[in-house]
Structure 1
Amino acid sequence: MIKLFKREKKKDVTLPTMIDKSFMMSMKPVRNPMIEWEKTAEGEIVIYLEKTPPKIIKKMASRKVAYKRIVLDAIGSFVWEMCDGKYTVNDIIKALMKKYKLRRLEAERSLLAFLRMLAQRKLIGLLPPKHITKSEG
């Protein structure tokens, strides 16, 4: 019997190590400087993401760059503005608790989920604490 499709052997996948909670809380979120955004008169943040058309369309037509708009609500805008590399995750949690009268667990879970989503879309990065050297991590 002839094999039409070869299966690739599964590579050994090493899962990333779990990040210690205290380490995560001391990280500083920072916005991607390549991302365009603006604050509206209403105080909402609008993030502009460049849409990348499929390769075949790119080759056929040279058109203007299209953008996808992401409009953040009040809490998302508040968090986005604090993602400037000055505040730690813990600082942002405390600010959310104070401004929006949230419990610690509620603020922590929703913030971490939001930061994870922003990081997956490459809108932010997380800077490690300064006292960690490259040889340790």
Structure 2
Amino acid sequence: MFPFKSKKPPVPVMGRDEALALAPVASRDVDVQLTAAGLVRLSVPVSVRPALAGLARRFGVWDGRVLRKTVELDAVGTFVWQHIDGRATVGEIAAALAARYSLNTDEARLAVAEFLRQLGRRGAVGFAAPAGRGNEEASGGRGG
């Protein structure tokens, strides 16, 4: 009789087809720049934990301004970012990627889904029902 219960694996909130039907939307807080090579550079605000912020202020190493993290995307990331317009779904972006780079459709879906998941964790994108297909907003993307 072990007193601790094993954790159950998380139940997915939505299925794969539902996730592919969402449209990624760029966050208003993201600054976008084009590099000389034509790649995209994103500047994303970084949240600071309150306890760390208090310590940093107390020791004079932080003045309370918003901290930002810069991420430079490669050619594939730039291609995907340029297709994020709030109307194109994840599935449509993956299909465009597969056509552009001669990839297997499933490989492109996995690559786009993982890339968008990482951008969502950083707060660079959120997801919504595509324009004209419904009004309900889905995941904000922040977390973990």
Is TM-score (shorter-chain normalized) higher than 0.5?
A: yes
Gaps of at least 5 residues in structure 1 are 1-12
Q: TM-score, normalised by structure 2?
A: 0.72
> Partners of 1:43 and 1:125 in 2: how far apart?
24
1:60-112: per-residue Cα shift (whole Å, max 9, x none)? Answer: 43386553221100000111121120211111011101111111111011111
Q: SS at the partner of 1:86?
A: coil
Partners of 2:67 and 2:134 in 1: CA distance? 42
The sequence identity of aligned pairs, in percent, is 26
Residues 52/111 of structure 1: CA separation in 2 closer, same or farther (3 Å cut): closer
Give, in angstroms, the shift of residue 33 of structure 1: 0.9
Aligned CA RMSD, in angstroms, stands at 2.9
**Stretches (4+) displaced over 6 A:** none
- Structure 1 position 125, deviation (Å): 0.4
Aligned residues of 2:44 and 2:122 also touching (Cα < 8 A)? no
Query: Is 1:37–2:16 an aligned residue pair?
Result: no
Corresponding residue pairs, total: 125
In structure 2, how many angstroms separate the alpha carbons of the residues matched to 1:29 and 1:86?
8
Which residues of 2 match residues 92-111 of structure 1 at below 5 A? 92-111=93-112
Q: Does the residue aligned with 1:92 lie in a helix, a strand or coil?
A: helix
Comparing both chains, which one has the higher relative contact order based on Cα–Cα distances under 8 Å and sequence gaps of 6 or more?
1
Aligned position for 2:88: 87
SS at match of 1:97: helix
Distance (whole Å) between structure 2 residues aligned to residue 49 and residue 58 of structure 1: 22
| Higher CA-based Rg | 1
Choose 78-87 or 53-62, whichever is displaced more. 53-62
CA positional deviation for 1:118: 0.9
Gaps in structure 2 of 5+ consecutive residues: 1-7, 138-144
Q: Normalization by structure 1: what TM-score?
A: 0.75
- AA at the equivalent of 2:78: S
Partner Cα distance (1:107, 1:38) in 2: 25
Specify the alignment match of 2:69 in structure 1.
Answer: 68
